[in-house]
Amino acid sequence: MEIHYLGHSAFEFITNGKKILIDPFLVQVPNYKPQNISNIFVTHGHGDHLGSAIDISAKTGTPITAVFELANYCAKRGAKTIDMGLGAWKEYDWGKAILVPAFHSSSTPDGQYAGNPCGIVFEIEGKTIYHAGDTCLNAEMKTIGEIYEPDLAMLPIGGKYTMDIEHAVTASEWLNSAVVVPMHYNTFDAIKVDINDFTRQIREIGKVPAVIDIDGRMEA
Ligand code: NI
Ligand code: MN
């Protein structure tokens, strides 16, 4: 499968001709056009994750998978939705996904309660990929490592609202994932980091730092 980084916490997975879009806040990729997307996932209600999800879904009919309250919010605004709770696999025609806890908050851009913030574990082409959403370091990650054994972890590293680099390094040890993709950094001044610190510290613990340029791609 291919992973296409769309800036901030937004990614597109491409597998066997199908495309899956996660947290489509697309301000950093003005030339990107979401086309033929099979499924959209949104980790929580904050504007920098909900992004263009409702617009895309309302225009194209692509369903948004999100936690119950957030799915309802999107459905009321014309989106097609798949609502889920935390903790049960859902099968799709490209693989499966499960919502896992994130420790953060979740309200919509207009201030409504949006349910629990989530991370997502995907199983695609025999690979397990964990997108942490926005979260602090938390012991749940040890459980995610034990139960799901992610091959690749996408972790926020910008600090202030989420984990910083140091905590992301600890998280990747707890998750026991060989490859770590950083996200949620350098989008705004408040979450500025030196990405070389991340790369160095992840290498020091024997893991592979996979820094993807904005609009860049990697094979997973
Ligand atoms: Ni957030
Ligand atoms: Mn965020």
- Give the model confidence (pLDDT) of 10-68 as tens digits: 999 999 999 999 999 999 999 999 999 999 999 999 999 999 999 999 999 999 999 99
Would you say residue 219 lies in a domain? no
Alpha-carbon torsion 49, 32, 83, 140, what sign? negative
Residues of the chain with pLDDT under 50: none
Q: What pLDDT is recorded for position 54?
A: 98
Instruction: Determine the distance separating the centroid of ligand 2 and the alpha carbon of 29, expressed in angstroms.
Output: 17
Q: Assess if residue 130 is contained within a domain.
A: yes
Residue 203's pLDDT is 98
Degrees (nearest 5) of the Cα angle 28, 32, 33?
Answer: 140
- CA proximity to 48, closest of 27, 29, 34: 27
- Looking at the structure of the chain, the number of domains it has is 1
Smallest-distance ligand from the CA of 190: 2
Alpha carbons 149 and 217: distance in angstroms, whole number: 23
| pLDDT of res. 5 | 98
Strands 95-101 and 217-219, sheet pairing: unpaired
Sheet holding 64-67, edge to edge: 81-84, 64-67, 37-41, 18-22, 11-15, 2-5, 217-219
217 domain residue, yes or no: no
pTM of the model: 0.98
- Distance (Å) from CA 45 to ligand 2 centroid: 9
Per-residue model confidence (pLDDT) at position 66: 98
CA of 196 to the centre of ligand 1 (A): 24
Closest ligand to Cα 156: 2
Give the tokens for residue 152. 């690749």
Tokens of 29: 């990729």
Tokens linked to 47: 């504007």
Q: Is residue 84 part of a domain?
A: yes
Asked whether residue 165 is domain-assigned, the answer is yes
User: What's the 28 CA to ligand 1 centre distance in angstroms?
Assistant: 17
pLDDT of residue 63: 98
CA–CA gap between residue 215 and residue 28 (Å, rounded): 8
Residue 1 has which token pair? 């499968």
Segments forming the whole domain that contains residue 207: 2-211
Distance (angstroms) between ligand 2 centre and the Cα of 105 equals 10
CATH code, domain with 106: 3.60.15.10
**CA-only gyration radius of the chain, Å:** 16
pLDDT of amino acid 122: 98
**How many angstroms is it from 6 CA to the middle of ligand 2?**
14
Give the distance (Å) from ligand 1 centre to CA of residue 117.
Answer: 8
Residue 218 lies in a domain: no
Which ligand has the nearest atom to the CA of 117? 1
Report CA(162)–ligand 1 centroid distance (Å). Answer: 8
Counting ligands in written order, the one closest to the CA of 48 is 2
